[in-house]
Amino acid sequence: MEAGLRVDAQRNRERVLVAARTVFARQGLEAGVDEIAREAGVGVGTLYRRFPTKDDLILAIVADGMAVLLEEIRAAAAIEDPWEALETAMLALAESMAADRGFVDAVREHLLTLPAFLSLRDRLLSAWEPLVARGRAAGVLRDGIEPVDLLLLARGVVRMPPDRNDVDPRLWRRYMAIVLDGLRAGGAGELPLGPPQPAR
Amino acid sequence: MEAGLRVDAQRNRERVLVAARTVFARQGLEAGVDEIAREAGVGVGTLYRRFPTKDDLILAIVADGMAVLLEEIRAAAAIEDPWEALETAMLALAESMAADRGFVDAVREHLLTLPAFLSLRDRLLSAWEPLVARGRAAGVLRDGIEPVDLLLLARGVVRMPPDRNDVDPRLWRRYMAIVLDGLRAGGAGELPLGPPQPAR
DNA sequence: GCAGCGGCGGAACGAGCGCTCCGCTTTCTC
DNA sequence: GAGAAAGCGGAGCGCTCGTTCCGCCGCTGC
């Protein structure tokens, strides 16, 4: 809801957002701007008046999805068992990427590199803090794991299955199970290297 | 060494291969054909006479790299301890992808989808068979793991770190340690779903 | 109901890609 | 050494993108 817009402009803005959400989810961020405009039933000019750059549009969409995801992570943090809380949050993060190809792309290409997306990334990492702290305190989470590690692990897991149509879209769960086992504190030795530094 | 070529053509063919290896390793498969030709000191026409398609060039390069990798995996298979053998092979696979961005791209976009690369993929998966069988028999490898799972896991792990210049290029080892622990047989439960079917 | 301005659509532009084409050069054969 | 054949370079084609531009349309406020 942007104030001061004519009613038709307001309506078109909304249509573009809906269309972008659909198309990005289906095809990832490489989807063409023309296709989004077609899906929205508007011209590309209209789209560009509201979102001067494709990245601006992506930011709007990703910010929306992020709000939902943050809520899920906060809900997971309310679970009593520290490990179950972590597991639930990891599955929510992975699920939101698996269900939305645009979100996966955004994590690698935008969240992790573009300054404009910095605050989104920070909010996501902050949401993980209490979960990680609690898991560490309870001795269920492997030593040395930081929120950013979980973000990178989840993204990597979601992208593991080949993206062919004949592959079960839930296959990432197979690999998530392996990673989650590897994340549990146990006989495992110390991890090599530290977590990556945040982008400047 | 292609027979029946004029000596200058032979020399240029070799130069193109060397240049392609360098450029693909540095920039991944999205690197432009023009850049390879420039690096090789030839025109694009020359390149295209020898390799009618960019994919033909990629195939030649990847086949070379694959030969080296297969040798390393076979060497790992000779290690007595079954788990150490698996671990060594996984590290070799990941290392060859980490050192060569073109190789990572090839695994996802070509090895796993294009029919022309089918025999390369089959050879890679076959090389894993004895390692996996031995690990299973010895009870050190988690139940249900297939060679293709290891390929997908290794590729996913290599791509986990953000690809920024200020990130330690060995960071993938951090995540590989987690995955390897998850792959060990242990108290862990059964994996959900089966391995993906091969591309038709 | 009308003036005027915000909004509209989509043709077109420029950059980047894989790839082709063709006039010229180099090598090979005898 | 000369003729033929093979090879060469790189301008340019056709395509796909993100983005811009501009003549027309239709809300809005009076």
pLDDT at B3: 75
d(CA A45, C1' D23) / Å? 13
Over residues A37-46, the pLDDT tens digits come to: 999 999 999 9
Report how far residue A71's alpha carbon sits from residue B97's, in angstroms, rounded to the nearest whole number. Answer: 37
Q: Stretch A67-72: mean pLDDT, rounded?
A: 96
pLDDT at residue A76 is higher than 70 = yes
pLDDT at residue A71 is higher than 60 = yes
Residue with tokens 């989104």: A120
Q: Stretch A46-71: mean pLDDT, rounded?
A: 96
Which residues are registered as beta bridge partners of A141?
A: A184
- Name the DSSP letter for residue B142: P
Asked if B112 and A164 come within 8 Å (Cβ–Cβ), the reply is yes
Report how far residue A92's alpha carbon sits from residue A78's, in angstroms, rounded to the nearest whole number. Answer: 14
Asked if B173 and A162 come within 8 Å (Cβ–Cβ), the reply is no
CA-CA-CA-CA torsion sign (A79, A82, A84, A85): positive
Q: Stretch A108-116: mean pLDDT, rounded?
A: 86
Over residues A13-39, the pLDDT tens digits come to: 999 999 999 999 999 999 999 999 999
Report which secondary-structure segment, H or E, holds B178.
Answer: helix B172-183
Segments of chain B with pLDDT less than 50: none
Chain A within 8 Å of B196 (Cβ-Cβ)?
Answer: yes
**Percentage of chain A lying above the pLDDT 90 cut:** 82
Interface test with B, best of A150, A163, A175, A176 (most B CBs within 10 A): A175
Chain B within 8 Å of A188 (Cβ-Cβ)?
Answer: yes
Asked if B159 and A159 come within 8 Å (Cβ–Cβ), the reply is yes
Give alpha helix (H) positions in chain A: 7-27, 33-40, 44-50, 54-77, 82-98, 101-105, 118-137, 147-158, 172-183
Q: What is the mean pLDDT of chain A?
A: 93
Distance of alpha carbon B14 from the chain centroid: 22
Can you give the pTM of this predicted structure?
0.93
Label each residue of B32-95 as H, E or C. Answer: CHHHHHHHHCCCHHHHHHHCCCHHHHHHHHHHHHHHHHHHHHHHHHCCCCHHHHHHHHHHHHHH
Q: Please, which residues have CB within 8 angstroms of residue B184's CB and are 6 or more apart in sequence?
A: B83, B140, B141, B142
Smallest CA–CA separation between A13 and chain B, in Å?
33
Q: Return chain A residues 18..77 having CB < 7 Å to nucleic acid strand C.
A: 41-46, 48-50
Asked if B162 and A180 come within 8 Å (Cβ–Cβ), the reply is no
Smallest CA–CA separation between A185 and chain B, in Å?
10
